């Protein structure tokens, strides 16, 4: 089904879109208000042009609906409260968290979507999958866990262990795969080496990355693959949406959108017109076709991505070149130049003398934007500071068209993150 | 499109749809005969959720007919 012809796929998507919009309109006060205000009924949706005219949903819509009854989901909820079997929430980085209800069927759907990911990345029932993550109220890796079980893997929950204990447990049990954020994949390799263990000897055959875009940024991917001596694949998902994109073993330079389960639209950052051609960055707007307790219909993810070329694996699902390349709110202009922090990551991680960590701060100085980049030089490369500085400034300028103040910090002193790294700080607001 | 071949798998949508209908009928019977016994009902609900996933995956091939249950 992942190889069905594009035209058939588009027809399927249109039908599924109509179906979920009708579901939302008939069962949720949130969607009813949103569409009534726009003078829209489900019967109005006939063509793709009609789809493009459906009002977009933002986090704020969920928040205001959730201020109503029944607690805590308000009238964004489409099923009786008794049918809800799982609670999750967003991290709240951008304000009050969004509460996410799922029925058991929704949860089956979550793991179904992740099963597409795992299967495409070569996970099979012969894998022993370690999950080095502190399971909690966030959805991260829960669905990965259930999906791995669903396709028959043996799953080891590495929940509350610390990094050393996780590595030793992976070694002891001979895990063949694990899933983590790119930051943590690199951090685990550092920790293993401190324990005197070469990560490449652990026999890991595949690593799934989620939570951050690193696995689609070539130098970051290369660092992870070299550290662990294995293949690393990207996956994209979000609490309100689901797991909506995954890289395949052909590694086309970004993940496939799961177009059987999601409608992903890219729209122009300035004028909002649809983008179909490869190579042009756009705002990612997503519909989950089969999520029912709290539907996600034309949700503005605030992510930025661009279409890539078709993949050699034969899947007809489109590829996002470089995965999520930024956030709409991070791609504010700096000194009038369109800027994405992932470009900086690409430059930093392409210089082998630098450590994995970095931090980028933008602040106002005399009404001018000023960029400060903090990096770590590897201990044995300290004598090359000037050479590294030169290369860094040159490559940053080439890639982003901007100048930076550089700060060199001793190796190991910048913050390390397990999830949701905050390497980009905009202090202008 | 009743039968199609994907990656050398013989997928017979007609028979899948029919088998799913039979299971659904069976699940309703189970619930009916359970006299409200919780362990029967909740496991029946799980079967229905799993069936819904099969439905989603199969209708990818022909949503109209799967929705109508026409296979
Ligand atoms: Zn592919």
- Which CATH number fits the domain that encloses residue A155? 3.40.50.12780
Residues A341 and A321 in one domain: no
Indicate whether B1 belongs to any domain: no
Residues A227 and A259 in one domain: yes
Mark which of A277, A312, A327 sits at the end of a domain.
A327
Q: Out of B7, B53, B63, whose CB is closest to A109?
A: B53
Cβ atoms of A369 and A334 within 8 Å: the answer is yes
Residues A146 and A163 in one domain: yes
Collect all residues of chain B within an 8 Å Cβ-Cβ radius of residue A104: 45-46, 49
Torsion of Cα atoms, A139 then A142 then A148 then A151, to 10°: -70
Residues A155 and A292 in one domain: yes
Residues A377 and A395 in one domain: yes
Distance from CA of A260 to the nearest CA of B (A): 7
Residues A189 and A54 in one domain: yes
User: Which domain does A345 fall in, by range?
Assistant: 332-426
Helix (H) or strand (E) holding A370, with range, is strand A368-377
Indicate whether B16 belongs to any domain: yes
CB contact under 8 A, A4 and B49: no
Q: In angstroms, what is the C-alpha Rg of chain A?
A: 22
Residues in chain A, overall count: 429
Distance from CA of A102 to the nearest CA of B (A): 12
Instruction: Show the beta-strand stretches assigned E in A24-171.
Output: 84-89, 99-103, 128-131, 154-157
Mark which of A281, A301, A327 sits at the end of a domain.
A327
Q: Which residue has the tokens 């996933």?
A: B53
| Count of the separate structural domains present in chain A | 2
| Count of the separate structural domains present in chain B | 1
The closest alpha carbon to A408, from A379, A381, A385, A383, belongs to A385
Per-residue pLDDT 10s for chain A (429 aa) are 788 889 989 999 999 999 999 999 999 999 999 999 999 999 999 999 999 999 999 999 999 999 999 999 999 999 999 999 999 998 876 678 999 999 999 999 999 999 999 999 999 999 999 999 988 889 889 999 999 999 999 999 998 899 999 999 999 999 999 999 998 999 999 999 999 999 999 999 999 999 888 899 999 999 999 999 999 999 999 999 999 999 999 999 999 999 999 999 999 988 999 999 999 999 999 999 999 999 999 999 999 999 999 999 999 999 999 999 888 876 667 776 767 787 888 899 999 999 989 999 988 887 778 899 999 999 888 888 899 999 999 999 888 888 899 999 999 899 887 766 788 888 886
Residue A45 sits at the vertex; the CA angle it makes with A44 and A47, to the nearest 5 degrees, is 125
CB contact under 8 A, B45 and A260: no
User: Which domain does B19 fall in, by range?
Assistant: 8-68
Residues A404 and A272 in one domain: no
Residues A133 and A237 in one domain: yes
Helix (H) or strand (E) holding A14, with range, is helix A6-27
Query: pTM here?
Result: 0.86
């Amino acid at each position: 089904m992942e190889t069905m012809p594009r035209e058939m796929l588009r027809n399927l998507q249109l039908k599924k879109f109509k179906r979920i919009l009708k579901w939302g309109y008939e069962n949720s006060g949130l969607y009813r208000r949103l569409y009534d205000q726009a003078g829209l009924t489900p019967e109005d949706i006939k063509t793709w042009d009609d789809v493009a005219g459906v009002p977009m949903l933002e986090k704020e819509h969920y928040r205001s609906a959730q201020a109503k009854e029944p607690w805590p989901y308000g009238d964004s909820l489409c099923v009786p409260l008794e049918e809800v079997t799982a609670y999750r929430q967003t991290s709240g980085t951008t304000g009050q968290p969004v509460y996410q209800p799922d029925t058991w069927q929704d949860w089956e759907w979550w793991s179904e979507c992740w099963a597409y990911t795992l299967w495409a990345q070569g996970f099979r029932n012969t894998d022993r999958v370690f999950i080095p993550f502190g399971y909690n109220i966030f959805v991260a890796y829960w669905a990965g866990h259930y999906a791995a079980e669903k396709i028959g893997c043996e799953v080891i929950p590495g929940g509350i262990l610390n990094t050393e204990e996780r590595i030793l447990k992976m070694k002891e049990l001979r895990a063949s795969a694990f899933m983590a954020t790119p930051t943590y994949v690199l951090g685990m390799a550092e920790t293993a080496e401190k324990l005197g263990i070469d990560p490449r000897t652990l026999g890991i055959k595949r690593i799934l990355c989620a939570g951050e875009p690193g696995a689609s940024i070539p130098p970051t991917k290369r660092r992870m693959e070299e550290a662990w001596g294995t293949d690393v694949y990207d996956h994209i998902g979000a609490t309100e949406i689901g797991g909506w994109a995954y890289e395949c073993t052909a590694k086309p330079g970004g993940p496939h959108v799961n177009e059987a389960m999601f409608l992903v639209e890219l729209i122009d950052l300035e004028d909002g017109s649809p983008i179909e051609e490869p190579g042009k960055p756009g705002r990612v707007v997503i519909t989950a076709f089969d999520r029912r307790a709290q539907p996600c219909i034309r949700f503005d993810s605030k992510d930025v991505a661009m279409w890539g070329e078709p993949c050699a694996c034969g899947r007809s699902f489109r590829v996002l070149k470089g995965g999520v390349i930024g956030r709409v709110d991070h791609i504010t202009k700096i000194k009038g130049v369109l800027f994405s922090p992932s470009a900086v990551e690409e430059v930093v991680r392409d210089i082998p003398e630098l450590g994995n960590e970095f931090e980028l701060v933008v602040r106002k100085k005399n009404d001018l934007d000023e960029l400060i980049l903090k990096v770590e030089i590897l201990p044995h490369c300290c004598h090359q500071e000037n050479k590294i500085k030169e290369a860094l400034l040159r490559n940053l300028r080439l890639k982003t068209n901007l100048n930076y103040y550089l700060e060199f910090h001793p190796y190991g002193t910048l913050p390390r993150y397990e999830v949701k790294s905050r390497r980009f700080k905009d202090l202008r607001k | 499109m009743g039968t199609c071949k994907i990656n050398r798998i013989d997928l017979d949508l007609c028979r899948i749809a029919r088998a799913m209908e039979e299971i659904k009928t069976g699940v309703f019977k189970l619930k009916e005969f359970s006299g409200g016994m919780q362990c029967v009902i909740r496991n029946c609900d799980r079967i229905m959720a799993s069936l819904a996933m099969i439905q989603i995956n199969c209708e990818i091939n022909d949503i109209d007919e799967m929705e109508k249950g026409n296979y």
